[in-house]
A and B are shown apart, each in its own frame.
Chain A
C-alpha cells in the first residue's frame, strides 16, 4: 500500500494503476459502472522513443446509488483527466507552491530577481499590518488636528513654548503637512504603499491560491490524514458510502481508487482574493477621482442662468473638460417645503439645461438627495439663501431689494434688507427693516426699530408703516448648487459592489475532507479554515450515518 502510494506521488502519469488496483485492494467494492470509456493518449512527439500512455477511466457514477440524493447535478468524479491531481503528503497549505515555477534563467535575471525581492518584501504580512496601523493612526491624528485652517491657527493652538506631549508643536504640523492630513504626502505615501502591498499580496500569494485550490489534493497515506485537525477511523465501511453521504451534505466529492477528497465552501477560500481586488479597484477609482474630476459650487437666484464650464474647476492633472461643459443652466424656480411647525423640510430647484443653440435638452426638479445627472455632470442641491424681496411702495414698483445674510448659525438662517424712507441723501437716513428666516414670512420693523407686522409674500395684503403703504410681492430665493464630474465613480462603485459581495462570501468556511480505504477500515480526516468548532460536530454527525458493512451483504 505504502509502496504504491509512493509511486503515485512521484509520477502522476501512473494513475492508470488505480483502475487495476481497485478490485485487488477492495474486495468490498460494490461499484457498478454503467459505461467505461478508455482513452489512450500518446504523449507528443518529444518522447517519441518511449511513449508513455495515460489511460483515463471515466466512470459514470451509478445513479441507482445516488438517486436518493437531492441534487442530481452533483456527481462523484472518478479521476477524470482534466485537472491534474496534485498529490501532497504533508500539510496542504498550498501557499508555498508556485515559487519554483517562476524560476527561469534569462538575461534579465537581475531585474527579475529584484522584482521578486520587492514583491516578497511587499507581500509580507507583518509589513501590511504595520501599514494598516500607520494609516489608521494617521487618520486618527487627522481628526484630532483641525484641518484646513490658516497657519496662524496652528501657531496659537500648538505653540512652541507649550508643546503637546512635550514635543508636538506647530512646526511638526506644518512641516509634515498635518494641517491637510488627507492630502499630505505622508498619508498618501503610506496609502500608496498599502496599495502596493495589496497588489503584491494578491499577485504572489492569492492568485496562485486559486490555481492550487482548483486541483484535487488527494492524500495517499494514513499518517497524513491522521495529522489533520479532525480525524477518525471507521471500521468496516466502504469509501463509496462515505462519498455519497458527504455529497448529500453538499460536498463536492472526488474519488480516485482508495482515496477520497471532498470539499465544501471553496468560495469562502477564494473570496478574500476578491476582497483584495475590490479594494484595489476602490483605490484606483479614488485616485482617478482625485486627479480627474471637476467640482464647483454656485449660488444662483431664481430666474438667472450660468454656464457649467464657468463654475467647474479642475482638481487634478487628468481633468479634461467635455462637450457638456458648454451647457447653460437656467434656474426656473426655487421653492421650499415646510413642516407644520414651520421648519424647512426640503428645498427644490427646477432646472433647465440649454445647449449652445439655446435649446432645452433636459429639465428636472432637483432636491437634496435627488441630484441631476447630464453628460457626466452631476448637479446637487446643497444650500439656499434669499436673494431679493420684491415690493410695491405706495403702488409704485415693483422694486427689488437685495437681501443680505445677517446671521448664519447652523441651519438657522436670517436675511435682512432695508428700505430707506424720506431723504436718502441725509447723513442719518432711516427706514423700514425687513427680516426673513425663510420664504414663508417677512417680519417688518418701522424706522424706530419697533415691530410693525408680519406679511406673507403673495398675500397682496398691504401694510402701512411710517406713512407709506408697502406690499410684499415676492421673496426671491436663490439656490445653492454643487456641480461635479467624477470619472472615478463607476470604478469605485464597481469596487463597492465587489467588496460587499466578496466580504459576505468570505464568511463561508472552506472545509476539506480526505478519506482512505485501508483494508476494511476507512481513515477520515479533515479541516476547515473558519468554522473550526462546528466542523468536528458536523463531521461526527455525518460519519455516524455511514453504514457498517456486515459480512453477509458483501456478495453484491
Chain B
C-alpha cells in the first residue's frame, strides 16, 4: 500500500510539474518575450521532474525486486526519464543547448501523460517476470534501446523542425486554417528569438531586415541541422548497442541471435533508416532537405517500432499488448 501511494504521489508531482513547464513555454511563446525568471524556473522544474521520475523508478524497482523494464508502462516511464536525463546532462556542461531543451520538455509531457493516462491503467501493477526475462541482459538491452529511442526521437524532432521551417511558405499558401497559422507563428517566432540571441554577439551586422532575417534563418537551420546530426549519431550508437545486446541475449535464451521477430525487424528497420540518414550526410547533394525527410521518417518509424508492434501484440516482445492473456 505504501508503495502504491508513494508511486501515485511521485507520478502526480512529475506530471503536474511538466504541465506547468509546458504552460510556461506556451506563455513565453505567446507573449513573444523571454522572461528570464520563467526560463530559469523551467530548468528547475525539469530537475524536479527528473528526481521524481528517478524516485518512481527506484520505488518500483525496490518493491517488485526486479528492474522496472518489464512492461509498456514501465518502459514509458523509463523513456521520459531518459528524456529528462538528456535535458539534465547538457545543463551541467558549459555548452548550453537551447534547441534540444525546447524539444525535450514537450516530449516528456507526452510520454509521461501517455504512461499515466487511463489507457494503460490495468498495467500499473508490476508483474512477475517470465522465465525468459530473468537475465542480466534485460537491463543492458532495454536501457540501451530506450536510451536510443529517446535520443533518436529528440534528434529527429529537430529535423522535423527544419522541415517545418523550410516548408513554411508552402504551409502559408496551403493552410489558411488557424491551426497551421499558429504553428507558423510559433516557428517564425523561434527564428526571431534566435535572431535576438545572436544580436547580442553581432552588433555590426545591421543590414536590410529581409536579407538579415534570411541570413539568420539559414543560420538557424544550420544550427538545428548540426545538433540534429550530433544527437542522431549519439542515438545511433545506443540503438546499435541495444540491438546487439538483444541479439546476444536471444542467442543465450532462445537459441538464435536473429529470429525476424516483428519487434526485432522493426528495430532493424529503424537502424537502417538512421544509417541512411547518416549516409545522406556524406553526400553534399542529398544533405539539406533529404536528410531531414529521412530523419522525419525515422521519427514515425521509431513510434511504430516502440508502440505499434506492441499494440499488435505479436512476437516475443508482446509485453505491452492490450490483449488479456
Q: Quick one: which of A181, A295, A378, A503 has the most chain B CB within 10 A?
A: A503
With an 8 A cutoff between CB atoms, is B126 at the interface? no
Give the distance to chain A from B13, nearest Cβ to Cβ, in Å.
31
A129 to B237 CA separation, bound complex (whole angstroms)? 19
* Residues of A328-367 contacting chain B, CB below 8 A: 339, 341, 343-347, 367
Give the distance to chain B from A335, nearest Cβ to Cβ, in Å.
13
The answer to whether B134 touches A493, judged by C-beta atoms less than 8 angstroms apart, is: no
The answer to whether B241 touches A500, judged by C-beta atoms less than 8 angstroms apart, is: yes
* Residues of A128-160 contacting chain B, CB below 8 A: 128-129, 132-133, 135-136, 139-140, 142-143, 147
Please, which residues of chain B bring their CB within 8 A of the CB of A126?
Answer: 283, 286
A397 to B210 CA separation, bound complex (whole angstroms)? 99
Q: Mark contacts of A525-538 with chain B using CB atoms, 8 A cut-off: 1 yes-contact digit, 0 otherwise.
A: 00000111110000
Which of B45-53, B178-186, B254-262 interfaces with chain A? B254-262
Residues of A within 8 Å of B, CB-based: how many? Answer: 54
Please, which residues of chain B bring their CB within 8 A of the CB of A534?
Answer: 95
Give the distance to chain A from B296, nearest Cβ to Cβ, in Å.
15
Which of B80-88, B103-111, B272-280 interfaces with chain A? B272-280
Please, which residues of chain B bring their CB within 8 A of the CB of A530?
Answer: 229-230, 233
With an 8 A cutoff between CB atoms, is A182 at the interface? yes
Asked, given contacts A129-B279, A139-B265, whether A496 binds B247 with beta carbons under 8 Å apart, the answer is yes
Asked, given contacts A133-B276, A409-B325, whether A368 binds B236 with beta carbons under 8 Å apart, the answer is no
* Residues of A412-463 contacting chain B, CB below 8 A: 412
A507 to B137 CA separation, bound complex (whole angstroms)? 25
With an 8 A cutoff between CB atoms, is B143 at the interface? no
A147 to B256 CA separation, bound complex (whole angstroms)? 18
The answer to whether B265 touches A142, judged by C-beta atoms less than 8 angstroms apart, is: yes
Interface size class of B (residues with CB under 8 A): 35 or more
The answer to whether B279 touches A125, judged by C-beta atoms less than 8 angstroms apart, is: yes
A484 to B255 CA separation, bound complex (whole angstroms)? 7
Please, which residues of chain A bring their CB within 8 A of the CB of B233?
Answer: 506-507, 530
With an 8 A cutoff between CB atoms, is B266 at the interface? yes
Q: Which of these, B129, B137, B241, B255, contacts A380 with CB under 8 Å?
A: B255
Closest to A381 in B: B131
A341 to B125 CA separation, bound complex (whole angstroms)? 14
With an 8 A cutoff between CB atoms, is A13 at the interface? no
With an 8 A cutoff between CB atoms, is A241 at the interface? no
With an 8 A cutoff between CB atoms, is B8 at the interface? no
A343 to B127 CA separation, bound complex (whole angstroms)? 11
A133 to B248 CA separation, bound complex (whole angstroms)? 26
Please, which residues of chain B bring their CB within 8 A of the CB of A371?
Answer: 252, 255
With an 8 A cutoff between CB atoms, is A248 at the interface? no
The answer to whether A286 touches B258, judged by C-beta atoms less than 8 angstroms apart, is: yes
With an 8 A cutoff between CB atoms, is B214 at the interface? no
Q: Quick one: which of A132, A181, A339 has the most chain B CB within 10 A?
A: A132
Closest to A409 in B: B325
Closest to B259 in A: A182
With an 8 A cutoff between CB atoms, is A375 at the interface? no
The answer to whether B234 touches A507, judged by C-beta atoms less than 8 angstroms apart, is: yes
A380 to B257 CA separation, bound complex (whole angstroms)? 13
A58 to B227 CA separation, bound complex (whole angstroms)? 43
Q: Mark contacts of A388-428 with chain B using CB atoms, 8 A cut-off: 1 yes-contact digit, 0 otherwise.
A: 00000000000000000000011110000000000000000
Question: Measuring CB to CB, which residues of chain A are less than 8 angstroms from any residue of chain B?
Answer: 125-126, 128-129, 132-133, 135-136, 139-140, 142-143, 147, 181-182, 286, 295, 339, 341, 343-347, 367-371, 378, 380, 382, 409-412, 482, 484, 486, 489, 492-493, 496, 499-500, 503-504, 506-507, 530-534
Minimum-distance CB pairs A-B, first 9: A368-B131, A369-B135, A136-B272, A182-B260, A410-B325, A143-B262, A380-B255, A482-B255, A496-B244
Question: Measuring CB to CB, which residues of chain B are less than 8 angstroms from any residue of chain A?
Answer: 95, 128-132, 134-135, 137, 223, 226-227, 229-230, 233-234, 236-237, 240-241, 244, 247-248, 251-258, 260, 262, 265-266, 268-269, 272-273, 275-276, 279-280, 282-283, 286, 309, 325
**Given pairs A339-B128, A532-B226, 11 additional interface contacts (CB within 8 A):** A135-B272, A139-B269, A143-B262, A345-B134, A368-B131, A382-B254, A412-B325, A489-B251, A492-B257, A506-B233, A530-B233
Of the A-B pairs whose beta carbons lie under 8 Å apart in the complex, a sample of 25, sorted by A's number, is A125-B279, A129-B276, A129-B279, A129-B280, A136-B269, A136-B272, A139-B268, A139-B272, A140-B269, A142-B265, A143-B266, A147-B260, A345-B134, A369-B253, A370-B252, A371-B252, A380-B254, A412-B325, A496-B247, A500-B244, A506-B237, A530-B230, A531-B230, A533-B223, A533-B227
